[in-house]
Amino acid sequence: MALGRPGPSYSLLHDGDGLVAQERRTWGFDDQRLLLLDGTANPDILRQFVPQLQNVPELRVQRNARIIQVQALTFFRHSLIELAPAGETGSPWRPTARLAAVAEFIAELARQGRTLVVTSKRVRCALTGENPSGMPVSTPYAGADIAHFGNIRGTNEFKDHDVVIILGREQLSARDAERLAKAIWYDTPEPIRCIAAGPNTEVQYPYCWRPVTMRDGSLRRVQVRVHPDPRVQAVVEQIREAEIVQGIDRLRLIHSARQKTVVILCNIPLDIPVDRLVTWRQLAGDSRLAAALAACEENGWEALPLAAATLSELFPDLWPTARAVEGWLRKNPLDPSISIIRLWGVLVDYKPKRQRSWSRALVRHGADPCAALAAVLGVPAAQIGVRDLTRL
């Protein structure tokens, strides 16, 4: 009221159950000289707590690393995990086809050198099967060490690693970011601009073109979700961009005597020069199995028949003919130990009624093989015979 600002209060909110008071914490160092050192700090946010804060000239340093970044995907959390079926033990989340493909990529890089993977907590749990409470800094996974955003700042545990893979990003919902900004700038005379809800009450950041700086000084543009109010966007970047940079710098690249490798599986531009801007397919190679599994998820199928004629009929854009499937299978043997298969499901043999020979299929973890295959093939489940390969 003292500010005379129109609109709602930022320091006293109604959340549906009651009133919530929020503001900045009182800063207790006004009578002391203070030096703040933080490679990802935002001075505009800090100055709300320390108005007398003065900037010194920025020190620009080079990281001894080769940086590779994808250009069209964010690898957002819901593209990587889904809720596990009720009754399953371990992690409450399970990998999607895309995450299973990423897991195979992680395993391949881990064979070439000590590798750190930094991702969100839920994605980590979906891969490792960990319970989300009481997790250590990292856990061994597929020959690599996997850690999560918000749990790695300051650690030197990975300074001797050769490779870091950043998988996805942490992005607050627009409403959560706006609420944090209102707490930090609770006494601002300038109203914070909030994103209007869409027709289905959804609130989503609009897209904006942002530059990616290449190693040779050229600029490439990518589309990124950005909040229209710069104060809210500052809050978003303190969690989204800053956590990515913190993950990259766990390898202590500035003082490294040897060049290391950074792979950023997210197209969010950072204040770091990029050597290669690539597509996910360029990184992962032949991704047809991942594409077929992703299509199964979109169709609600929990099985992928691998018989040549059936696979070609289901996915003609990926395999135009049965002969194309046979050639692909010769080059890509269906080893149940590889990550994309092991994480998505189990291999079984199946035989529809009146078919003389057995065919192979991949069935989603937790699904009934007969029912899952029947749904894909369009026949009654009673007409499908199944045998478990692990018991043969």
**111-148 tens-digit pLDDT:** 989 999 999 999 999 999 998 888 999 999 999 999 99
How far is the C-alpha of 311 from the C-alpha of 321, rounded, in Å?
Answer: 9
Kindly give the pairing relationship between strand 163-167 and strand 115-119.
Answer: parallel
Q: What's the pLDDT band for 389 if we cut at 50, 70, 90? A: low
Using CA atoms, how far residue 240 sits from 176, 234, 291, 353, in Å, is 13, 10, 28, 53
Instruction: Output the pLDDT for position 332.
Output: 82
Burial class (CB in 10 A: 0-12, 13-18, 19+), 112: exposed
379/392: higher pLDDT:
379
pLDDT at 349: 94
Helix (H, G, I), strand (E, B) or coil at 67: strand
Minimum mean pLDDT range among 138-147, 181-190, 301-310, 349-358: 349-358
Mean of the per-residue pLDDT values for the chain?
Answer: 91
| Torsion of Cα atoms, 217 then 222 then 228 then 229, to 10° | -40
- State pLDDT tens for residues 219-238: 999 999 999 999 999 999 99
The answer on pLDDT for 2 being more than 90 is no
Mark out the alpha helices in 214-347 (DSSP H runs): 230-248, 280-284, 288-299, 308-314, 322-331, 339-344
Show contacts of 200-207: CB within 8 Å, 24+ apart.
Answer: 203/173, 203/174, 203/175, 204/174, 205/174, 205/236
Rounded Cα–Cα distance for residues 303 and 377 (Å): 10
Task: Please give the order of strands across the beta sheet that includes 359-364.
Answer: 303-305, 359-364, 345-352, 384-388
Integer CA distances (angstroms), 147 to 135, 137, 382, in order: 9, 6, 45
Nearest to 118 by CA among 243, 15, 293: 243
Rg (alpha carbons) of the chain, rounded to whole number: 25
Place of tokens 């130990």: 337
Give the pLDDT confidence score for residue 351 in this predicted structure: 92
CB contact at 8 A, 146 and 137? no
| Residue 340 pLDDT grade (very low, low, confident, very high; cuts 50, 70, 90) | confident
Distance (Å, rounded) from C-alpha 83 to C-alpha 92?
A: 6
pLDDT at res. 56: 81
Tokens of 161: 């690693």
Provide CATH code, domain 65-284: 3.40.50
Question: What is residue 383's DSSP assignment?
Answer: G
Q: Report domain extents, the chain.
A: 65-284, 288-391
Indicate the helix (H) or strand (E) that contains 336: none
Distance, in Å, from the CA atom of 296 to the CA atom of 377, rounded to the nearest integer, reads 12
pLDDT tens digit sequence for 264-301: 999 999 999 999 999 998 888 788 998 999 999 999 99
Give the C-alpha separation, 363 to 365, whole Å: 6
pLDDT band at 392 (very low <50, low <70, confident <90, very high): very low
Average pLDDT over residues 371-380: 94
> What number is the average pLDDT over the span 30-51?
86
